[in-house]
Every structure is written in structure tokens, then in C-alpha cells.
Chains A and B, each alone.
Chain A
Amino acid sequence: MSGFPTLVGNLLQTAARVPQATAIQDGAATVTYEQLLQQAGTIARELRAQGLQDGERVVLIMQNSAEFAAAYYAVLMAGGVAVLLNAAAKLRDFEAWLANCEASFVLTDADNDEATLAARASVAAARHWRSTGNPRSPFGLTLSAEHAPPRAVDEHAPACILYTSGTTGQPKGVVLSQANLASNAAAIVQYLGLTGDDSIVTVLPFYYSYGSSVLHTHVQVGARLVLEKNLVYPHIVVASIARERATGFAGVPSTFALLLSRVKLADHDLAAMRYVTQAGGAMSPALTQKLREALPGAAVFVMYGQTEATARLTYLPPHMLDRKLGSVGRAIAGVDIEVRGENGAVLDTGGVGSIWVRGPNVMLGYWCNDVATAAVKHDGWLNTGDMGSLDADGYLYLSGRRSDMIKTGAHRVHPQDIEDVIAELPQVQEIAVAGVDDERLGQAIKAFIVPVPGASLSPMQVQAHCRQRLAAYKIPKFVEMVDSLPRTMTGKLRRAELKQRK
């Protein structure tokens, strides 16, 4: 390995520096950095022993756990490429992703039936490993203190794949290198001022770029991650923050909307909370203000990024929040931002156009999809697909997305993924799906259906069909039967018009 930091290098250094520090706390189980390294080393050695070759893909379909974190680092130590899939997805998604990445090994949670089905259809039984939930014996392996030294890998080679869309057409798997991941983690550590004294209660899944960045930043500095499964019971999450005296919390706008509406934060002792971060879509300035008032002792970091840029592109320094309210901040260390017009020319201050970025965090490309890669990457620059403007001080303001991606809660959903499933119903003549404004989720999914003349189809039938085929967060909240869909002269769907038709 060269002098460039890698994730594996970060874990080795942290485990040597603070071996007894808690890395991950998952319910009653606690894993120190020494143990995390030991687990990762054991898993890595076993992967190699069972035939994993450099650059081969190891798929992880898991909810957050110490085993997940150990397996993720293990794959990198073993020279493989870690493919992190949304554990809440359904069989048809898993099948498409496993085929696209040509999985060599599949590691799943023991109780995930759909993932298990997909794994069995994709790899030999010996290459489908199931979690045990026991950090002393990850995947049923016997821990060994002696682990083979990590494979020497090119830090610019593929290390991780995150899929940003489902089965429609060719899946888009964002390929990131260890250099991408480590440089982005280092930049985040720097602006958050993270140290080994920090600890975070995290509800964000590691299989999304935001949650993944929370993991890597904490491993880099030897800080503690306290895992909470989800936000179903927000009171339990806040109680955990208070009990653990967590110094940080990370969320998306819907997380904060939920916490502020359902929990009286003032009733809990959150004095240790030093900062909160917000990313994953624009949060209204009103909600940002409410959050600051509810947590007067915590610095609020508004941030922006995307999976194609590893995770983070900009952050708003908390002391600038009042002066730049509504901005997502300025570029993080090492990143350049340009706003370009229709003709590709860089726009002057204040001009609204496409946001292009350049930096060590920009992905290598989409996995085995040169067409999709070429559509967004030119000369080292990445077209984010977002629209916005820069002010005279270099602060970025977003003004919507050009693409049709729906952001609902913490999830990004491509409408066509849902349209394809609904189109399977014989009663459907035409279908369009759009995101409509939703107070809690940011956007809610709505399906507009033109039924076959004379056919009988109820919204509930449509939703029931989707439930069989799609992850729960992709099931349309609203289904409306319409006479026709709004189209342009050339027959192209006017999705923007659908969004107005709540």
C-alpha cells in the first residue's frame, strides 16, 4: 500500500492506537477496536481460504450490526469488492443486483428470507454465509488472533459498490475506491472535529452512503458507534442518546421532523450532544430553526452530497447558519464545484444551472455500465443531476433536481422501478409514478393509472401487488385512476405536472 490512506489502514491504526476503545455497541453486545479488527481479519482469512480472488465481489445484505461492520472491512482486507445492498429490498431487486455484480460470495442476515432465496440461486451453498448475531463468532467462524496481513491493493481500484437504482434497465452500481472512501471520511472528520472522545447513536443503515460515512469516520478516529435499529420508536432512540451520553447524531429531514414532533427533547438530558448532522435532501429552514431551538447546545451541520461522490460534497459551518440559511454550504476540503448552464459554460455568481463537482471523492463510475458513466462523468468532473447556484462567497444553494428520482424518507426511488411492477397488472393500460409533497417524508409516492377500458382495478389491488414485488418504502401511498396522463407533443410524460396534481 502507498502513503494514501485507506479504510483498512484506518482500522489497523485505530486498533493499534486504542485497542480497548469501544468501536460498536449493539444492544448488550460491545465490540472493541481490537475485537473488530480480529473479527474482520478472521472473516478475511476465511474468504481467501474459500477461494476469494482480488477484485471479486462479496455481497452484504445485512442490517446494521457489528458483524456487518466487520464483514465490510474484511472484504477490503481480503482484496475483494464489498457490494452493500439495501436489506429491505425484495427478491427481484436482489436477483438483478447479484447478477449485475457477478457475486462470488453473499453474506446475509440469518432471518432475511428474500435475501437467502436470492443468495441460494446465485452462489454455491458454501459461499452463502449467514450472520449469527454473535460478535464472538461472526458467521459461525472461530475467531483467531492471527489474521493474514491485508492484501496490498491499489487504493484507486474498486473497493465498494452501492446500487442507486433498482431493476429498471441496467442497474446502476456506484463504484468507489478505498481512496474515495478514505478521503471523504477524512474531510468529514476534519470539519466535524471528530475525535476518539466522540460517540454517535446511529439509525442510518451502513448500506447507504450517509450511514457508510458515519461508520468510516468513526473508525478513522476510534470513536464509538451505538447502533439503534430504526426510528420506529423515536422515544427509545432519544433515550439511548441520553443514556449513552452520545456527542453526535445524524439524520435526514424526515428523521428530524419525526423527532421534533413526537419527542419532547427538553425532557431528556442531551447535554453531551455536541453536534447533529443533516443530509439526504433539502430540509426547510423552518425545521432547521426548530432543531436549533430544541438542541441549543449542539452545532447543527447542514450538508449535501450524493452516493456518486462517496457521500459528502458540501457542509454549512454552524456559525454561518443564520447568515446563509437555506444554503447547503461550501465545498468540503479537496472538492471543486461549478454551476454550468445549458451550453456547458460555467455560470456567474447567482446563476442557476447544473451542479458539477470534482474531487478525490468522485466515483470511479457505474459498475459495468459505461453508457451511464459517460452520461455523468466528463474530464474528471461529475454532473450531480442537481440544479443550484453559488453565491459570491462560494456557498451553494440547491434548486431542485433535474432527474425524476423520488426522495421519500431516507430512500431514493426511481419511479420507473415502481411503474414496471404496476405495469405487470393486466388491468393497467398506462402508468406513471411521481413524488408528491409530504409533510413527514419529504415526498410520498403516488401512482397515476389509466386502466384498460372496462377493467376493474382498485387502488388496494395495486398496492397489494406492489407489496409482493417491492420493498415497503416503494409501495405507493396514493393510487389514483385517471382518464389520461399528461404528455408532451412527442408523447413524453410530463412528470412535473403530475407532482402538482396531488
Chain B
Amino acid sequence: MAVCIAVIAKENYPLYIRSVPTQNELKFHYTVHTSLDVVEEKISAVGKSLGDQRELYLGLLYPTEDYKVYGYVTNSKVKFVIVVDSSNTSLRDNEIRSMFRKLHNSFTDVMCNPFHNPGDPIQSKAFDGIVSGMMTQTG
């Protein structure tokens, strides 16, 4: 259901990025990259706006003609980005939320692995499995 899932480090370099293999990979890199500005904007808006939105889930970042981009940021400023197909209208906000939740849980496990070096690209098979599950699942 998701076409691209990315994890971006605090310093804004990719820790993990995967997209469906049939399509143009570079385009997704580009989409994710451009979404970072929106994420930054949402984070820095905390405290200024009226509704003090401090949830980890950032919601829909921006829609394009073909895709919808959703964002999530952890307390350690690691960003998760999920890109879904716009044609997939059945996908609810709640489902996206739970996908991020799952992703975050798995990411936490990766971070707590003593053999993983924080800041290195994610090479965990368990994490890979979770991501694959989200990409193939039909919504």
C-alpha cells in the first residue's frame, strides 16, 4: 500500500529508504527529500501556533498529483516518511498512524541493538520485514 518508506536521521541524511522496485527510484528520493522542508516547518511551528500541536505524527505533509506524503518525527528528531499512491483513497488516517507506530517500534528495537551504531544506515532484517509488510499489503 505504501510505495516508498524512508527514515531520515537527525542531521537530515537518509538512514533507510526503500521504494517499490517497479518504479523510478530516484523520483522517490526526490519526493522524500523535498518533504523534509515541510517537516522542518512543522517542527519549528511548535509553540508559536495557537493549537499547540506536539504529537509525533505530523499528518499529511503535502499531496502531489500521484502521491500523498505523510510524516512522523521522533523525539530524537529522526523522521519517518511514508509515500502512498493518491489513487488509494480507501486508506484512512488511522491506518497511516498505526503504520508509523509500527515503524517507530521497530526502529526503537534497532536503536537498542548493541551491535547497531547510532547514525549508521539501518541494516536490520526485522526492520526490513516490517517495511516489506507495509509495502505489499493491499489496502
Instruction: Please determine whether chains A and B interact with each other in the same assembly.
Output: no
Residues of A within 8 A of B (CB): none
